[in-house]
Amino acid sequence: MPGFEQWTQNGAGRVPKISTTLTMRDHLGACKARWGIDRMNYMVPPGLYAIGAPAPEDPVLVTANYKMSFDEVRRNLAGRNVWLLVLETFGINVWCAAGKGTFGTDELVRRIRLSGLARAVNHRHLILPILGAPGVAAHEVAKQTGFTVRYAAIRAADLPAYLDHGMKTTEAMRELTFTLYERLVLVPVELVTAARQSAVIMAVLGALFAFAGGWQAGLVAMAAYLGAMLAGVAAAPVLLPWLPGRSFAVKGTVIGILWGGAVTLLAHPSPLVTAALFVGLPAVSAFYALNFTGCTTFTSRSGVKKEMRIALPVMGAAVAVSLAMLAVSRLL
Amino acid sequence: MKGFAYLKNVATLELNREKCVGCGRCLEVCPHQVFSLAARTAAIEKKDACMECGACAKNCPVGAIAVDAGVGCASGMINEWLREHNIRGRSGEC
Ligand code: SF4
Ligand code: SF4
């Protein structure tokens, strides 16, 4: 298991003591996981862990068995004596697992029982991440196990301050942020996900255009599509706060139009092809930008539903019109 | 959330103030500061900031809060629609 130092004996039996410093391998693994490589094997065995030399009165923190969550928590608890209860979330982070219900009441209750936590500690308090709350009903956990739940903070980085100040959550610890860095780290895995489907579309587009207008036309078509995809998958998330509108489809359209302009400047197409670019490319960007709502923590399900109901038919129509214009431009 | 705002008037969040016992849990779990508490009763303060995560409804001990929580990403939703209409779709992953 990651960070293992030694076995310790206590009321709960044998509990592994883990280190609070991350190794080169931990960092490398995190980097790989962000690109979606080996993500599914990025798990930590669930159960009870010891950080430092925790006594029965020391606090119990709860996290998911996604290795990056686990690493982030232990790194921030350096120099402390605490218990860490890791739930089986199948390698998914706290926020997504809470949404799916795996970071949830049932698993927490089960893990408290299986780990023998009640024998390891003499108090009955658990400290949970705030983003785990959508899956856990605190009053249910209390009813079933006697352990009361405190939701500490959103970010693991706030845990030291929380523990040092008598377990008080400040307003800032409760408030979500979505910084440039936080947006940036989400992009790689989105790229990898989009790449497979895009490769197929690009191959078809390239073949069609190469057949109709020579290999250069094929290459230009592929590049134009690739750019529109990247505009939606990478540029839209990065530029999110500066793109106009509240709707992600609108934000994606805006950036797609900018890309359409760039392609026009570079490739000097005929007026009809230009029109086709300005109709088709923004639709592609808008689709990928809209997909990014799944990674954000401020878009509501009802909002995304509303956007999709309006945007999907428009995007479909735009792509169809764009292709029709391109076909006509070939015949003229 | 500072600097970010999503669509207005779409959130399905509802609070039954009659039932509320003023425990403050909803304020504790909401990452968007949607609720306020005064005179031992909660109130919805910023409904448009709600991302429908469901944390408040799940943790309210008296069931005073209702919200349509669930998958919020476009591809997950497409898969959900496909399943609803009995068309085979890949399992939704967010
Ligand atoms: S969690 Fe429920 S009972 Fe407690 S303050 Fe909020 S609405 Fe009222
Ligand atoms: S659903 Fe989530 S975001 Fe909306 S009010 Fe409840 S806790 Fe806050």
DSSP A196-251: HHHHHHHHHHHHHHHHHHHHHHHHHHHHHHHHHHHIIIIIHHHHGGGSSSS-HHHH
Most A-contacting residue of B23, B32, B51 (CB-CB within 10 A), to test interface: B51
Residue type, B44: I
Tens digits of per-residue pLDDT, B60-70? 999 999 998 87
B87 touching chain A per CB within 8 A: no
Q: Are A190 and A202 in contact (CB under 8 A)?
A: no
Distances (CA, A) of A279 to A220, A222, A257, A328: 16, 16, 8, 15
Minimal-distance CA residue of chain A relative to B57: A134
Please give the number of the atom of ligand 2 that sits closest to the Cα of B35.
Answer: 5
Tens digits of per-residue pLDDT, B49-93? 999 999 999 999 999 999 988 765 666 677 777 766 666 544 444
Q: In this complex, do B74 and A131 lie within 8 Å of one another by their Cβ atoms?
A: no
Q: In this complex, do A301 and B49 lie within 8 Å of one another by their Cβ atoms?
A: no
> Which residues fall within 8 angstroms of residue A108, CB to CB, at 6 or more apart?
A62, A87, A126, A136, A141
- For A190-195, the CB contacts below 8 A with 24+ separation are A190/A233, A190/A234, A190/A237, A190/A291, A190/A292, A190/A295, A191/A230, A191/A233, A191/A234, A192/A35, A192/A36, A193/A36, A194/A229, A194/A233, A194/A288, A194/A291
pTM reported for the whole predicted model: 0.83
Stretches in chain A below the pLDDT threshold 70: 36-41, 332
Size of interface A-B (CB pairs under 8 A): 132
Q: Name the nearest CA neighbour of A65 among A28, A34, A111.
A: A111
Q: What is the pLDDT of residue B18?
A: 92
Cα distance between residue A235 and residue A251, in whole Å:
10
B17 touching chain A per CB within 8 A: no
Minimal-distance CA residue of chain A relative to B94: A294
Cα distance between residue A296 and residue A178, in whole Å:
8
- Ligand 2 close to Cβ of residue B52 (< 6 A): yes
Q: What is the pLDDT of residue A211?
A: 84
Q: What is the pLDDT of residue B93?
A: 45
CA atoms within 13 A on the CB side of A282: 21
Minimal-distance CA residue of chain B relative to A97: B94
Placement of tokens 């039932």 in the chain:
B19
Tokens of A43: 């798990």
Cα distance between residue A67 and residue A228, in whole Å:
33
Cα distance between residue A154 and residue B52, in whole Å:
17
Instruction: Report how far Cα B81 is from the mean position of its chain's Cα atoms.
Output: 20
Q: In this complex, do B52 and A301 lie within 8 Å of one another by their Cβ atoms?
A: yes
Tens digits of per-residue pLDDT, B1-28? 777 888 888 888 999 999 999 999 999 9
Q: Are A86 and A44 in contact (CB under 8 A)?
A: yes
Residue whose CB lies within 8 A of the most ligand 1 atoms, among B19, B20, B34, B37, for a mutation test: B20
Tens digits of per-residue pLDDT, B37-47? 998 999 999 99
Residue whose CB lies within 8 A of the most ligand 2 atoms, among B25, B56, B68, for a mutation test: B56
Tens digits of per-residue pLDDT, A73-102? 999 999 999 999 999 998 888 888 888 889
Q: Are B22 and B37 in contact (CB under 8 A)?
A: yes
- Kindly provide the ipTM of the predicted complex, given to two decimals: 0.83
Q: In this complex, do A301 and B33 lie within 8 Å of one another by their Cβ atoms?
A: no
Q: What is the pLDDT of residue B19?
A: 93
- Domains of chain A and CATH, by start: 4-176 (3.40.50.11600), 181-331 (no CATH)
Q: What is the pLDDT of residue B89?
A: 45
Q: What is the pLDDT of residue B22?
A: 93
Counting every residue written for chain A, the total comes to: 332
Q: What is the distance in A from the centroid of ligand 2 to the CA of A163?
A: 25
